[in-house]
Amino acid sequence: MSDLLPKQTKDDGFLLISKLSNKHNLSNECIDDLLSVIQQAKTSNIEFPSSYYNYEKGLKLEDWKVKYHWLCRGCGEEFSWELFDKPFNRITCRACNESPKPNEDHFISFDTSTLLKRTVESHSQYMFTSSETGSDLLRSVAYQKLQAKGMKKGDISLVINTDGAPLFSSSKVSFWPILMQINESESVCRKRTVVMAGLWIGKEKPQFEPFLKRFVDDLITLQTIGFEWFHKIENKIYKSNVYLLCTMCDSIARPSVQFMSQFNASYGCPYCLHKEPLWYFTHRESSAIKRTHDEHLKHCEQATLERQTSLSGNVFGVKGYSPLHRLLYFDLILGFPPDIMHAVYLGVSRQLMKIWLADGMKFLSNFAQGKINEFLQTIKPPYRVSRVPRSLEHHKEFKAHEWSMWMYYYSPIILGSILPKEYYEHWMFIVIGLSILTCSALNGTKILKAKNYLDRFSKNMDRLYGHSNCTFNVHLLTHLTDFAEEYGPLQNISMFAFEDFNSSILSYVKGTQHVSSQVAKRYVQQLISKSISEDVVLEVKVELFNRFEKQLSDEEKVMLSTKYSSEDIDACAFHKRVKIGKRLFHSLSYQRVVKRNSSVVFFKLDNKVLEIEYFLRIGSNNDILGVGLLHEIRNLSGSILAELDYFYESRNSYQYFVNMCDVQSIALLVEHENKKYFIKFINDVENHSQ
């Protein structure tokens, strides 16, 4: 910084900020935060470290017990040391005289107990506060099984994940984290509790036995002994034991963790004894015998014995014991649910689009593609949807979120007039089945209905698209209802939160050398910043923006006089935007945003939707009203679209006002062929930008 700080006058502060911004390419938000820190320092006795060395020393990285693990290239012996303590050149394998190299295949591990303690303490305002009813994960069959086997109130359950991703675009080095998510909180808050327990970095897939062993050893200790932590809100010390509920992996990583054959091998399905090898899974074998935990253990034992006498120990696709088999109450079959993010959104949905656009079949001609693109450009999703629709020209770059929006909300409307009737109805089978399995309120009757639709989809795939398109992802559809029965709605066991975390890991890497050390340091910094939390504000905050002047019409005054006095009406204030808690609502009078529409809302009582024209603050209680066109709505009828119970149409409308406290959820408004569709989001977890 010395070259940045020549002798300055007191009026040259903005020059220093400009130089700093240019040197490090700072964002506007970063500059704003930096200026806030400077202002706080000027008005308080805050002391800052004098150098990065002192800053890093003050972090006390050694307290986090991060360990570096290296497997000798010659003999395979594992060497471990404190990552922030012993340099590489002090480690040598005596048998092979080998030493670790900085970016050689290796892994780091965090102390699981320390991680969980810090996480639950910094998120104690969310812990054990779940008011979820019906189909939440904490009411699932799998969770109740843990409770029946000894899990008590105050204990913690985990969903874990491991998956690989490239570290650099110009090399084969990849990273595989072990991630944990804590379940004992509100469903919309769980993604905040995702933490990293380990990280493999290398050019090859992890050696899962040593990689998972440390983590499993920690979990076994936490299952039996537990850990203590302080609940800031309740002012109470908890002692929590820890249990593994399930492990989420995609179809590439899952076989390695289960110690089973890949999905394209004989007996490659981890859920049934489907023998057909390679890619093609015909429906006629979808009723193959289902695997069970007890039978799987027998196959593990048999495969282990065979491996002692030959190298081909493989019993019905089982190659041996997974390291996770040592955990109490963990089901080695039902404990590995399929992931709809990869199997459906990035799997079947993308696969069918590729088929429709292929030259051989060409269901979607250039004219049809233009019609779809034109339709997509008219859609203005609300802010809870993280991405606006893109044209089909970009379908190869679509993210999982975009495929889910296409599948549930866009395609049912537009494809009916484009695909041949039989193919459209076939597509709707998977849309209806998956929309049921991901809805917030799931029961046995709905699961049976979803199973019927998904079986019909799978059964007709061969006839309509050919044997070569009966892929493993299509086969997985026949197993989804089993896991919906076990875990509730499939968004309970979605990988979206873990994929988001993987993206943050990439942001920790600033150079190509000592990558694990970079990740560990920046991750610990993030954990420390989260642990220094502000006082928790539990009440919902209401904020009004963009006040403007307006003259109420006589009709509007009469409408408001049914509840408010003339004095209240004369003193009311008009606004274009309102934020209630974390939910942002716009009115139609707010013209600055052109690609979003956050002005349509569903209400808690009755089947009503309001298109908000403006917001009104009125009355002695400062009520916040949405004023606009109120629609009395009904479900669709007369076509297969009627099976989507989250699609509505207007049967009557009139000008009225509604208290914003009565808002249930924001709506997606889609207009097509002079008709408005009011669409309710299937659940509150997926497609959410928060």
* CATH at 550: 2.30.30
Q: Tell me: the pLDDT tens digits for 446-503?
A: 999 999 999 999 999 989 998 889 899 999 999 999 999 999 999 999 999 999 999 8
Q: What is the pTM of this model?
A: 0.90
- The whole-number pLDDT of residue 256 equals 94
- The whole-number pLDDT of residue 186 equals 78
The range of the structural domain enclosing residue 483 comes to: 340-492
Q: Please, which pLDDT band fits residue 130 given cuts at 50, 70 and 90? A: low
**Is 293 domain-assigned?**
no
- The whole-number pLDDT of residue 633 equals 94
- The whole-number pLDDT of residue 610 equals 95
CB 647 within 8 A of CB 435: no
- The whole-number pLDDT of residue 40 equals 74
Same domain, 565 and 648: yes
Same domain, 426 and 571: no
CB atoms within 10 A of CB 323: 18
Least confident of 39-48, 187-196, 349-358, 396-405: 39-48
The 3 state secondary structure assigned to 35-93 is HHHHHHHHCCCCCCCCCHHHHHHHHCHHHHCCEEEEECCCCCCEEEEECCCCCHHHCCC
- The whole-number pLDDT of residue 415 equals 95
- The whole-number pLDDT of residue 431 equals 98
Least confident of 109-113, 183-187, 460-464, 649-653: 183-187
Same domain, 397 and 478: yes
Bridge partner list, 583: 580
- The whole-number pLDDT of residue 537 equals 44
Q: Which has more pLDDT, 61 or 521?
A: 521
Same domain, 553 and 675: yes
Greatest mean pLDDT among 59-68, 306-315, 521-530, 652-661 lies in: 652-661
- The whole-number pLDDT of residue 606 equals 75
**Is 688 domain-assigned?**
no
Q: Please, which pLDDT band fits residue 690 given cuts at 50, 70 and 90? A: very low
Residue with tokens 């699609």: 647
Element (DSSP H or E) covering residue 414: helix 411-414
**Is 432 domain-assigned?**
yes
Q: Please, which pLDDT band fits residue 51 given cuts at 50, 70 and 90? A: confident
**Is 464 domain-assigned?**
yes
The 3 state secondary structure assigned to 179-246 is EEEECCCCHHHHHHHCEEEEEEEECCCCCHHHHHHHHHHHHHHHHHCCEEEEECCCCEEEEECEEEEE
- The whole-number pLDDT of residue 534 equals 42
Share of the chain above pLDDT 70, in %: 92
- The whole-number pLDDT of residue 361 equals 67
Same domain, 524 and 475: no
Q: Please, which pLDDT band fits residue 24 given cuts at 50, 70 and 90? A: confident
Same domain, 225 and 76: yes
Same domain, 443 and 570: no
Same domain, 194 and 239: yes
Residue with tokens 């020393």: 57
Burial of 360 (0-12, 13-18, 19+ CB in 10 A): exposed
d(CA 673, CA 453): 28
Mean pLDDT of 257-283: 80
Same domain, 481 and 522: no
Q: Which has more pLDDT, 589 or 131?
A: 589
Q: Tell me: the pLDDT tens digits for 349-358?
A: 999 999 999 8
CA neighbor of 285 nearest in space, from 483, 484, 467, 487: 467
Least confident of 129-133, 141-145, 230-234, 308-312: 129-133
Same domain, 523 and 593: no
- The whole-number pLDDT of residue 17 equals 76
Average pLDDT, the chain: 87
Mean pLDDT of 283-302: 84
pLDDT reading at 413 higher than 80: yes
Residue with tokens 């040593």: 210
CB 635 within 8 A of CB 353: no
**Is 302 domain-assigned?**
no
Q: Please, which pLDDT band fits residue 628 given cuts at 50, 70 and 90? A: very high
Query: Nearest 5 degrees, angle CA 494-CA 469-CA 452?
Result: 60
- The whole-number pLDDT of residue 688 equals 46
**Is 271 domain-assigned?**
no
Q: Which has more pLDDT, 21 or 216?
A: 216
- The whole-number pLDDT of residue 9 equals 60
**Is 57 domain-assigned?**
no
pLDDT reading at 170 higher than 50: yes
Mean pLDDT of 537-557: 83
Written as one letter, the residue type at 586 is: H
CA distances in angstroms from 459 to 73, 227, 283, 311, 639, listed in the order given: 49, 50, 5, 38, 22
Mean pLDDT of 221-239: 91
CB 597 within 8 A of CB 669: yes
Q: What is the 8-class DSSP label of residue 336?
A: S
- The whole-number pLDDT of residue 669 equals 96
Same domain, 119 and 99: yes
Share of the chain above pLDDT 90, in %: 56
Q: Structurally, how many domains does the chain consist of?
A: 4
**Is 56 domain-assigned?**
no
CB 636 within 8 A of CB 647: yes
Same domain, 527 and 546: no
